[in-house]
Structure 1
Amino acid sequence: MKEITRRKFIATTTLATGFALAVQPISAQVISTDAKGLVAGAVKIPVKDGEIPAYRAAPATGDNFPIVLVIQEIFGVHEHIQDVARRFAQLGYLAIAPELFVRQGDVLKLSSIDEIRPIVAKVPDAQVLSDLDATVNWAVKSAKGNADKLGITGFCWGGRITWLYAVHNPKVKAGVAWYGRLVGDATELQPKYPVDIASKLTVPVLGLYGGKDTGIPLDTVEQMRDRLKSSSSKSEIIVYPDAPHAFFADYRPSYREKEAKEGWKRLLAWFKQNGV
């Protein structure tokens, strides 16, 4: 797929109105959160080189909302990520999920993960971190967000980004990383992994991982735990022994209700404890 030019992505890219093609069929256990009482839907975030689409959900009344950045999986900002944003909004948060792959391609319309991976591999970390800074700015200036109550959570690809953004932006009050890769081979576009920056972390991040995740070996989780000892962040990692990768993804067979619900409770308590 050709990379999308700035002019084209501003003009034509929109958010998904359902689930990504690559994750069909959708599981019967999928959770659907009502938008009643919310302002929810697509918005455009001004960034350095134009605009990117994002999904925003917030209470319909009030202001000065605590902000949560919701960072997508490899499948983009499809219905599951949008639903997670609505879950936060129903609890009083302003939740925003920016579409972070948009310049490189539209992963929502690709039918297999093998087609998606080459697109995602072209996404520079520096671009992602800059887009998230722009999203925070938009949340404060245009969506009644409170800059002093900023949290971030991300899933899989977004779990890795959660760790990285918590180092990049020390104004984040707390992060929760769901099964994001901790170790990897450095490239020009992705020069650092969480283990490389763990000692610099000042923001408290809670890592939620599965003991049966075949893509994230437990020895890498232990490596991260060890590196965190030299940080001032009071970060923690919890491993659910019987959980596979993507155990929070209720639209997929990997979903584990018990661990997902417990992880969500831990996330909310972590945010509350750390001022989000």
Structure 2
Amino acid sequence: MVTLTRPEGTESDDLTLSRRAVLIAAGYAAFDVGANAEPVKTPEDGLISGWETLPGGLPAFVARPAGKGKHAAVIVVNEIFGVHEWIKDVCRRFAKAGYVAIAPEFFFRGDPDKTLAKLTDFTAIRAIVAKAGNEQVMGDVKTTLDWLGTQKFVHAKKVAITGFCWGGAVTWMAAARFPELKAGGAWYGRLKGDPGTEGRKWPMEVVADLKAPVLGLYGALDKGIPVADVEAMQAKLKGSKSSIMLYKDADHGFLADYRPSYNAAAGTDAWDRLLAHFKASGV
């Protein structure tokens, strides 16, 4: 599978693929659309979905079962590309499993025109993402938790969080901050910072503060997260209710079934494990 837009620049063959324009227009991240990728769309029958505006102007995409009654909830934290179509579809998948799924747009302050998903310049992408500091993000998680607690269709004492890449790290940090969360699922999120990133903490530094059991889901082929970091985190988690699954044949983004890095075997197994983890944690 050929990546359409590359870090080193777009190749001429990429531009002959008409599906690229369709996917990007649909809100997929241009950097990660593959030549053979197809838009993934979970059927919406039996669901209610759409955008909500939370206190403070925080936009959030919500998908939930249409039936009456209270449901457990999952906060879905996006990758660095914001709430694009794949993140929305993850929400629909959770809704099909019986959850109220909500994906806050954490980057809306730095990207009011919602251009992030269409950017191909990583410098521009990082500039937007960098504006969402840890404390601001934790504040948005709190806003989301409070909003869920006021909704008649949410079981407020049964809330979990999961996130991907950038959102994977957010998941660890939120689980160490909020006792309202009953479980977490961290997909290939960074575990520690680079030298010189003092001034904020990283997941490896907050293990002792975890208030909910987190299941980490990582790939051994991930070039951005060394296996040594994963093993060090596993050692720190030993004896706790949190754990990490390391898939030896999986790369970064192995659940994202619109990317070249998608790994069906690892992704399916990890998704099933996550749902089982939530259920075992009472969510």
Corresponding residue number in structure 2 for 1:229: 238
Corresponding residue number in structure 2 for 1:84: 90
Q: Is 1:265 the equivalent of 2:272?
A: yes
Structure 1 residues without counterparts, runs of 5 or longer:
1-15
TM-score by length of 2: 0.85
Distance between the aligned counterparts of 2:132 and 2:52, measured in 1?
21
Distance between the aligned counterparts of 1:66 and 1:196, measured in 2?
29
C-alpha deviations, 1:98-135, integer Å up to 9, x for none?
00011122422322333211221221111111111111
C-alpha deviations, 1:18-63, integer Å up to 9, x for none?
32333345643553201111110111111xxx21111000011122
Structure 2 residues without counterparts, runs of 5 or longer:
1-24
Distance between the aligned counterparts of 1:175 and 1:24, measured in 2?
27
Please say if residues 177 and 209 of structure 2, whose CA atoms lie closer than 8 Å, have aligned partners that are also in contact. no
Please say if residues 21 and 112 of structure 1, whose CA atoms lie closer than 8 Å, have aligned partners that are also in contact. no
Corresponding residue number in structure 2 for 1:214: 223
Q: Which structure 2 residues correspond to residues 108-187 of structure 1 after superposition, within 5 A?
A: 108-142=117-151, 144-185=153-194, 187=197
Please say if residues 26 and 251 of structure 1, whose CA atoms lie closer than 8 Å, have aligned partners that are also in contact. no
- Deviant stretches of 4+, over 6 Å: none
Distance between the aligned counterparts of 2:94 and 2:243, measured in 1?
22
Distance between the aligned counterparts of 1:37 and 1:265, measured in 2?
21
Identity of aligned residues (%): 49
Q: Is 1:242 the equivalent of 2:256?
A: no
Which amino acid is the alignment partner of residue 107 of structure 2? F
Please say if residues 71 and 159 of structure 1, whose CA atoms lie closer than 8 Å, have aligned partners that are also in contact. yes
Please say if residues 154 and 178 of structure 1, whose CA atoms lie closer than 8 Å, have aligned partners that are also in contact. yes
Distance between the aligned counterparts of 2:36 and 2:126, measured in 1?
23
Cα 1:82–1:200 shift into 2, 3 Å:
same
Which amino acid is the alignment partner of residue 224 of structure 2? G
131-140 or 92-101, which deviates more: 131-140
Please say if residues 213 and 242 of structure 2, whose CA atoms lie closer than 8 Å, have aligned partners that are also in contact. yes
Please say if residues 42 and 53 of structure 1, whose CA atoms lie closer than 8 Å, have aligned partners that are also in contact. yes
C-alpha deviations, 1:230-261, integer Å up to 9, x for none?
7xx41010100011100001011000011000
Distance between the aligned counterparts of 1:26 and 1:113, measured in 2?
20
TM-score by length of 1: 0.87
SS of equivalent to 1:227: helix
Distance between the aligned counterparts of 2:89 and 2:265, measured in 1?
19
Corresponding residue number in structure 1 for 2:68: 62
131-140 or 162-171, which deviates more: 131-140
Structure 1 residue 143 displacement after superposition: 5.5
Which amino acid is the alignment partner of residue 205 of structure 1? V
Distance between the aligned counterparts of 1:208 and 1:243, measured in 2?
10
Corresponding residue number in structure 1 for 2:48: 39
SS of equivalent to 1:142: coil
